[in-house]
Amino acid sequence: MDITTFFTGGASGLTITAVIYGIYKVINHKHIRSRCCGTKIDIEVDVKDITPKENGARDPPNTE
């Protein structure tokens, strides 16, 4: 593998990541409503940042 192939692959990956991030920023936390042919469509897009806890640890059960 030569250096041109390496940089081309890196640039392609960076471009794809930038496009996906741009789409994410545009549609995140949006409420989309559409009415077509008498049919209503109501969609809410809300992507949450969920980070798993280390070693699969869980919160202790609520004993109240």
What would the pLDDT profile of 12-62 be if each residue is shown by its tens digit? 999 999 999 888 888 777 778 888 888 888 888 777 766 666 665 566 666
DSSP secondary structure letters along 2-57: -HHHHHHHHHHHHHHHHHHHHHHHHHTTEEEEEEETTEEEEEEE------PPGGG-
Give the pLDDT of residue 37. Answer: 87
